[in-house]
Amino acid sequence: MPHVVILGTQWGDEGKGKIVDALAAEARFRAVVRYQGGNNAGHTVVVGGQTYTFHLLPSGMLYPDRTCVLGNGVVIDPQVLSSELAALEARVGTEHARLFISDKAHLIMPWHILRDCIAGGAIGTTCRGIGPAYSDYIERRGIRWADALDQEAFANRVAEEAAWNQRLVEALLDHHRVPSERRADLDPDHALSADRIIASYRTWVQQITGNRLVESGDASALLDHLQGRGEDILFEGAQGTLLDIAHGTYPYVTSSHPTLGGVYVGTGFRPRHLQVVGVAKAYTTRVGGGPFPTELADELGLHLREAGHEYGATTGRPRRCGWLDLPMLKYACRVSGLDSLALTKLDVLTGIPRLCLAVAYQTGQAMTDTFAVHSDVLQRARVVYEELDGWSEDISAASTFADLPRAAQAYVQRIESFVGRPLSMISIGPQRDQMIVCGPSG
């Protein structure tokens, strides 16, 4: 059986957590692996009426006999990891998966969060320090999980970096003309005190490594070993294709690679026999700045936000909502070579009399169904829509494709025919069992 990658085809928040949770239930998957991003993610899993939101932990953590992995491509905030583990144990005890942390994963440090809060405004970042942590990694001055395990080396690295970041943060505060009240709130002198950082990071790292279900080491070797034993691995992408630093709507992107390429770089492992599943919400949402051609800045957009509970799982920010963009899905399909799609939140469209699907873009006289990922082109282009009938029947209890009203079937089939990939799953509500499994051939 193939390994499986679950990744987002839009601007994140597609409902990947639920799809990962559904697949992780299959006994063949021994490991669930995050390969990029950090606690900017918010993956929600609903089990038996209980809602679990994972930011940094992989969504397979609820399965006690699995190993969840944070690959080298993930950026780790130890405070968040320690409290997420403690919160999980407060609810399920030790009945959760093992956690394996790549010793090559980079740490999010307080200066990353400060720099993000000062400079991330134009992009509308989550202020979790993600961009600056990846930036230091590329600049070859990052601090890795392995460094945090060596107390002396860690203290030396923190002292060096804290001093450098004091100056950098001062310069950023001046450059961005941050008012004095806000400077007082950010309190860089306190936040960047090396002694304080060393002590608090030591505590969090000890809390994490002291957990008998947590291990650190070479995640690439672990995955290779599992593959060698014939075990299957589930890779969990965070964010989405259009937020990819290389392939997204740059500069309105995150700083990692949610697309398929991220799996290889973010784990150091070549999965053989890989199936790539792209998760698409039945409409489109976006948080933060940047172009969004199918955005509905009207009553219907507000309706989608309320009906779909479209508020950020990480920051609580209201999400911008709009029609489904088929050229965008086709683009995601090309960039990551998707084998199939999983459609989520189809139930949210119930009751909307006419539905629109973006099928092309027009710039001047030129018409194309290729998604023009450049932000300036997207901002200028006119979207061409196809209109379909909506449905009013409650679909939240459907268990097969045939249970769906004809109009909902037509909506789904139009997506498949445009993108040229089968739909393998259709989610029709937040609960684990509210899912139509169509099989790999649709």
Does position 427 bind ligand IMP by CB under 6 A?
no
Rounded to whole angstroms, the Cα distance separating 335 from 333 reads 6
Q: Is 176 in the active site?
A: no
Does position 126 bind ligand IMP by CB under 6 A?
yes
Q: Which of 405, 400, 374, 370 is nearest to 384 (CA)?
A: 370
Secondary structure (DSSP) of 66-121: -EEEE-TTBEE-HHHHHHHHHHHHHHHTT-S-EEEEETTPEEP-HHHHHHHHHH-T
Which 365-394 positions form the footprint of ligand IMP (CB under 6 A)?
none
Cβ proximity to ligand IMP: between 17 and 188 the closer is 17
Q: Per CB under 6 A, which region of 38-46, 68-76, 149-157, 408-416 contacts ligand IMP? A: 38-46
Does position 118 bind ligand IMP by CB under 6 A?
no
Cβ proximity to ligand IMP: between 279 and 398 the closer is 279
Q: Per CB under 6 A, which region of 40-48, 142-150, 205-213, 405-413 contacts ligand IMP? A: 40-48
Does position 305 bind ligand IMP by CB under 6 A?
no
Does position 238 bind ligand IMP by CB under 6 A?
yes
Does position 287 bind ligand IMP by CB under 6 A?
yes
Does position 76 bind ligand IMP by CB under 6 A?
no
Does position 41 bind ligand IMP by CB under 6 A?
yes
- Tell me the site size for ligand IMP, rule CB under 6 A: 21
- Please, what is the Cα angle at 117 between 119 and 106, to 5 degrees? 95
Amino acid at 128: R
Does position 36 bind ligand IMP by CB under 6 A?
no
Q: Per CB under 6 A, which region of 98-106, 124-132, 145-153, 335-343 contacts ligand IMP? A: 124-132
Q: What's the closest the beta carbon of residue 131 comes to ligand IMP, in angstroms?
A: 4
Cβ proximity to ligand IMP: between 216 and 314 the closer is 314
DSSP 274: E
Cβ proximity to ligand IMP: between 254 and 424 the closer is 254
Given 43, 106, 112, 257, the catalytic residue? 43
Q: Is 43 in the active site?
A: yes
Cβ proximity to ligand IMP: between 243 and 356 the closer is 243
In the three-class reduction of DSSP (H, G, I as helix; E, B as strand; rest coil), residue 395 is classed as coil
Q: Which of 397, 423, 424, 394 is nearest to 411 (CA)?
A: 423
Q: Helices in 363-405 by DSSP H: which ranges?
A: 375-380
Does position 259 bind ligand IMP by CB under 6 A?
no
Does position 73 bind ligand IMP by CB under 6 A?
no
Rounded to whole angstroms, the Cα distance separating 379 from 382 reads 8
Q: H/E element holding 435? A: strand 435-437
Decide: 141 and 161 in contact? Cβ < 8 Å.
yes
Q: Per CB under 6 A, which region of 118-126, 158-166, 215-223, 274-282 contacts ligand IMP? A: 118-126
In the three-class reduction of DSSP (H, G, I as helix; E, B as strand; rest coil), residue 388 is classed as strand
Does position 39 bind ligand IMP by CB under 6 A?
no
Q: Which residue is nearest to ligand IMP (CB)?
A: 288
Cβ proximity to ligand IMP: between 60 and 288 the closer is 288
- Please, what is the Cα angle at 89 between 83 and 93, to 5 degrees? 170
Does position 405 bind ligand IMP by CB under 6 A?
no
For the beta sheet containing 98-102, the strands, ordered from the edge strand earlier in sequence to the opposite edge, are 214-217, 98-102, 67-70, 29-34, 232-236, 3-8, 274-281, 340-344, 423-427, 435-437
Does position 130 bind ligand IMP by CB under 6 A?
yes
Does position 12 bind ligand IMP by CB under 6 A?
yes
Q: H/E element holding 382? A: strand 382-389
Decide: 342 and 422 in contact? Cβ < 8 Å.
no
Residues belonging to the active site: 13, 43
The contact set with ligand IMP (CB under 6 A) reads 11-13, 40-42, 123-126, 128, 130-131, 238-239, 243, 252, 254-255, 287-288
